[in-house]
């Protein structure tokens, strides 16, 4: 159960109204995901989070699907249930199928393992070949 | 400093020889990265790790660069220095430039933040719109 | 569901009785939070945990509310649901309101992001200005 | 060693110039911490990070020292060396002495322990007393 | 709720059939734990994970119970609910009782605390006595 | 570099003297590891940490080597360099050889992978067979 009362989708606060409207337009949905309704308990923070997320997730040198895959890899590594659910859904909406999801998660699992082995043996960074 | 003595590149153990040769051929390099020299202190484990990594990192539905980007996202989230170094180098070798790296890490930073906010407010997964 | 049977509040074990009584008196509550009932399955460990928590959480140079805020920041960073719930409740009981909670969690989110960016770029500690 | 070449403090990029000037004025320092020089390799991301950090760290319901203490608690929990160094220095500049630092870190250590015990026993959130 | 449809225990895919049969024989159970049914959505990855887990968990220099205890310590540190449940059950099946479990978790809690204190004070590794 | 000045081994503070003497006697060493010299900047916290560590690490139902192995598994999962170094050394002093270390770390790596896969697919705990 959330630790705060989720803000209503029709809350009259002008910052909340402006951000909620932009979320719906940008994501082409007609409802507000719970995370934004929780953040709206502090409207200035809601706006900071949303405007920054919108700027960072816009396709650039890296395309939208790859960005969602990165979001999922981070969320799975952190074990954040809410985020795993929403980024899995978002990546699949952008075209990742179950087999592709399996490949992405295989890489996530693999490097969570390899990271710990590198740490555990205290392996020092390689001197790159051209410097050797 | 590593907690074990790194195994020499010319170690006579037949498993180590076989894996080291395959690492050089697969990665088209003529030296052995430190992580594999540390893992070689337990040859059976070295072989399990390498054969599995080779199978998972092979391009499939997801291409090689995206897989390296996922590896980097996981390593940055875990704060593993060795792995951050090697996957940054590998992703750039596959074509990611400094601006693309900036985009990827912006997404990594963003969702490390959003993950913790979703956890902190104990936000429950959204019921997806088509079910509403 | 807990992995052990929670110990009853009236358990006859003398260590458990002594600790449970002290928890009620110290926290001015007339029931025992679940974490202590789980720890009571190993009475000596229960006592070690409780006496140490009591000593550390006592106001000193740092006041009680700030200590609860630190507890919440740690719990949110670790994504521990039980602890997020109890430390949010405790901080609010000590006077933090929803807007103050929003500010605290904004800082928590921000530095979970900045930590990963500093790690991801392998930024080295600054040489402090007076040494420059 | 950073994975990117740190941007020079006098870099001509107008976004970089604007942000670097604001960092110096806001923090009342005459040099640029390494993290901002690394982020400046992607000027738009630099600006997003800085303007958001500036807004969130401004004293509000929660004072500046408490915010630095939260930043330190998060950084210690994540084990981020760069951030631990800079937030320890910042908190001490704002008045935390070695004994106060000891108290803060005692709380950080304590709840990293308690978080894992609550997770390990799969303890469910308490039903708050007034509801019992 | 899982993000993929769990694969049926009688799925006709030959890799899935082979792995599921081996899981039942190796673990001496007549049902398939959920994690394997989820991984079976990508049969090649299922087989890689299972064959590697089977090889690593086989008693060697380190016995089966100690390996389960390590699995539990890792899972508790990562806060993975599914894994905490299954490794607690597995360790207890191999002979760990509630008091032994309390001892193991006490060590897990203790070093989650000590790890963060060592990081927080940026303590450098000791030069071992024989070198002093 | 530590963020505090390490306390001298001959510091006159009576709590520090008492704890340092007990550390030397208990561990049968004639020097003080850096972590305790850092914690001694807050003598009461030093004593709380040491007395609790001493109580928890004493062999009970679980022997001393297994406890060190758990400490290493936790430290590797958290990526704490200081702790990885000291617990690897301690476990090897108690009889773990390089091959045994390889086995332990293989289990650590494996479950860091499996934990993230279980989280990533949002796998729900198994209903245990006898309840089925």
pLDDT tens digit sequence for B75-125: 999 999 999 999 999 999 999 999 999 999 999 999 999 999 999 999 999
State mean pLDDT over B16-44: 97
- pLDDT, residue E86, reads 97
Q: What percent of chain A has pLDDT over 90?
A: 95
Q: Does B127 touch chain A (CB under 8 A)?
A: no
| Confidence (pLDDT) at C17 | 98
CB within 8 Å of F84: residues ≥ 6 apart: A119, A120, A122, B3, F72, F75, F76
Contact between residue F128 and residue E7 where contact means Cβ atoms under 8 Å apart = no
Task: Report how far Cα C88 is from the mean position of its chain's Cα atoms.
Answer: 10
Measure the CA angle with vertex D113, ends B2 and E53; round to 5°. 55
pLDDT on residue D129: 56
- pTM beyond 0.95: the answer is yes
What angle, 0 to 180 degrees and rounded to 10, lies between the N-to-C axes of helices C64-78 and B98-120?
Answer: 120
Query: pLDDT-based confidence at F130, cuts 50/70/90?
Result: low
Alpha-carbon distance values, C117 to B62, E65, E100, F59 (Å): 25, 39, 41, 42
Nearest to D30 by CA among D39, D21, D38, D41: D21
Flag if A85 and B126 touch (Cβ within 8 Å).
yes
3-state secondary structure labels for all residues of D24-79: HHHHCCCCCCHHHHHHCCCHHHHHHHHHHHHHHHCCCCCCHHHHHHHHHHHHHHHC
- State the nearest Cα–Cα gap between E1 and chain B, in angstroms: 10
Given a cut of 60, whether residue E130 has pLDDT beyond it is no
Our CA-based measurement puts residue B18 at a distance from the nearest CA of chain C, in whole angstroms, of 33
Q: How confident is the model at residue B3 (pLDDT cuts 50, 70, 90)?
A: very high
Question: Which 66-125 residues of chain C touch chain D by CB within 8 A?
Answer: 66-67, 69-71, 73-75, 77-78, 80-83, 85-87, 89, 97, 99-100, 103-104, 106-108, 110-125
| Category of B95 on φ-ψ map: left (φ > 0), alpha (ψ -120 to 50) or beta | left
Q: Give residues with Cβ within 8 angstroms of C43, minimum separation 6.
A: C13, C15, C16, C19
Comparing CA positions, the residue from F16, E119, F29, A119 lying closest to residue D75 is: E119
Taking phi first (over 0 means left), then psi (-120 to 50 degrees means alpha), and beta for anything else, what does residue E129 get? alpha
Residue F129 has pLDDT above 80, yes or no: no
Q: Are F122 and E5 in contact, with CB atoms under 8 Å apart?
A: no
Neighbours of C14 (CB within 10 A): 9
Asked if A108 and B67 count as a contact pair (C-beta separation under 8 A), the reply is no
What is the largest distance, in Å, between two alpha-carbon atoms of chain B? 64
Distance CA A81, CA E69 (A): 25
Query: Are E100 and F62 an interchain contact pair (Cβ–Cβ within 8 Å)?
Result: yes
Cα A68 from Cα A62, distance rounded (Å) = 10
The pLDDT of residue F127 is 82
Give the pLDDT of residue D131: 46
Q: What is the CA radius of gyration of chain B?
A: 19
How sure is the predictor about A130, in pLDDT bands with cuts at 50, 70 and 90? low
**CB–CB contacts below 8 A, A to F:** 60
User: Within chain F, how many helices (H) and strands (E) appear?
Assistant: 6, 0
| pLDDT bracket for residue F92 (50, 70, 90) | very high
Contacts of B52 in chain E (CB under 8 A): 48, 52
**What are the tens digits of pLDDT across the range A51-72?**
999 999 999 999 999 999 999 9
Pick the closest to residue D79 from B63, F127, B78 (CA basis).
B78
Other C-beta atoms closer than 10 Å to the C-beta of E25 total 9
Identify the pLDDT of residue D130.
53
Name the CA radius of gyration of chain C, rounded: 19
Q: Using alpha carbons only, what angle is made at residue A91 by residues A86 and A93, rounded to the nearest 5 degrees?
A: 95
- List of E strands, C10-126: none
Say yes or no for a CB contact (<8 Å) between A83 and B118: yes
Q: F38, F19 in Cβ contact below 8 A?
A: no
The CB density around residue B94, as the number of other CB atoms within 10 Å, is: 14
Q: What is the largest CA-CA distance in chain F?
A: 64
Residue with tokens 């139902």: F61
* Distance (Å, whole) CA D20 – CA D29: 11
The total number of residues written for chain E in this structure = 132
Assess contact for A72 and B112: CB atoms under 8 A.
no
Point out the residue among B1, B48, B125 whose CB comes nearest to the CB of E52.
B48
CB contact under 8 Å between C88 and A49, yes or no, is no
Write down the pLDDT at residue B130. 55
Residue of A34, A33, A112 whose CA lies nearest to A78? A112
| pLDDT value for C127 | 82
B–D interface: beta-carbon pairs under 8 A: 26
pLDDT at residue number B127: 82
Q: What's the DSSP call for residue C72?
A: H
**What's the pLDDT at C47?**
98
Which of residues 25 through 44 in chain E touch A, CB cutoff 8 A?
A: 39, 41-42
- A131 has pLDDT over 60: no
Other Cβ atoms within 10 Å of E44 Cβ, number: 15
Confidence band, pLDDT 50/70/90 cuts, at residue F14: very high
φ, ψ dihedrals at C44, nearest 5°: -65, -40
Give me chain B's average pLDDT, please. 96
Share of chain F above pLDDT 70, in %: 96
Close Cβ partners of B17 (under 8 Å, ≥ 6 residues apart): B11
How confident is residue D70, by pLDDT bands cut at 50, 70 and 90?
very high
Q: Closest approach of chain C CAs to the CA of F98, in angstroms?
A: 30
E103/chain A closest Cα distance in angstroms: 23
**Cα→Cα distances A132→B92, E13, F44, Å:** 19, 48, 50
Confidence of residue E132 (pLDDT cuts 50, 70, 90): very low
**Whole-angstrom distance, CA of residue E90 vs CA of residue E84:** 10
C-beta separation of A7 from C99 below 8 A: no
Q: What is the pLDDT of residues E83-99, one digit of tens each?
A: 999 999 999 999 999 99
Contacts of E116 (CB under 8 A, 6+ apart): D76, D77, D79, D108, D109, D112, F78, F80
Mutation target vs E (from A91, A93, A105; most E CBs, 10 A cutoff): A105
Distance CA D26, CA F2 (A): 28
Say if residues B109 and C114 touch (Cβ distance below 8 Å). yes
What pLDDT digit, counting tens, does each position of D16-68 carry?
Answer: 999 999 999 999 999 999 999 999 999 999 999 999 999 999 999 999 999 99
Asked if residue D97 has pLDDT above 60, the reply is yes
| pLDDT tens digit sequence for A29-39 | 999 999 999 99
pLDDT, tens digit (0-9, with 9 covering 90-100), for F55-75: 999 999 999 999 999 999 999
Instruction: Write down the mean pLDDT value for chain E.
Output: 96
Per-residue pLDDT of A8-19, as tens digits, reads: 999 999 999 999
Rounded to whole angstroms, the Cα distance separating E73 from E78 reads: 9
Contact A9, C90 (CB under 8 A): no
Interacting residues of E86 by C-beta distance below 8 A, sequence separation 6+: E33, E35, F125, F126
**F21 CB neighbour count, 10 Å cutoff:** 11
Give partners of A (≥3 CB pairs < 8 A): B, C, D, E, F
| Nearest-5° Cα angle at A49, C75 to B126 | 70
Say how many CB pairs under 8 Å bridge B and F: 26
Per-residue pLDDT of chain C (132 residues), as tens digits, is 999 999 999 999 999 999 999 999 999 999 999 999 999 999 999 999 999 999 999 999 999 999 999 999 999 999 999 999 999 999 999 999 999 999 999 999 999 999 999 999 999 999 865 544
Query: To probe the interface with F, which of B35, B44, B45, B52 has the most F CB atoms within 10 Å?
Result: B45
Q: What is the pLDDT of residue E127?
A: 82
């Amino acid at each position: 159960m959330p630790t705060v009362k989720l803000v209503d989708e029709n809350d009259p606060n002008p910052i909340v109204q402006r951000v909620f409207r932009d979320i719906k337009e940008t994501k082409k949905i007609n409802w507000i995901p719970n995370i934004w309704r929780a953040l709206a308990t502090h409207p200035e923070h809601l706006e900071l989070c949303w405007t920054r997320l919108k700027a960072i997730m816009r396709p650039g040198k890296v395309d939208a699907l790859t960005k969602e895959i990165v979001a999922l890899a981070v969320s799975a590594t952190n074990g954040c249930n809410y985020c795993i659910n929403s980024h899995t859904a978002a990546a699949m909406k952008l075209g990742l199928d179950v087999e592709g999801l399996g490949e992405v998660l295989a890489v996530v699992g693999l490097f969570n393992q390899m990271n710990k082995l590198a740490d555990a043996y205290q392996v020092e960074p390689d001197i790159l070949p051209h410097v050797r």
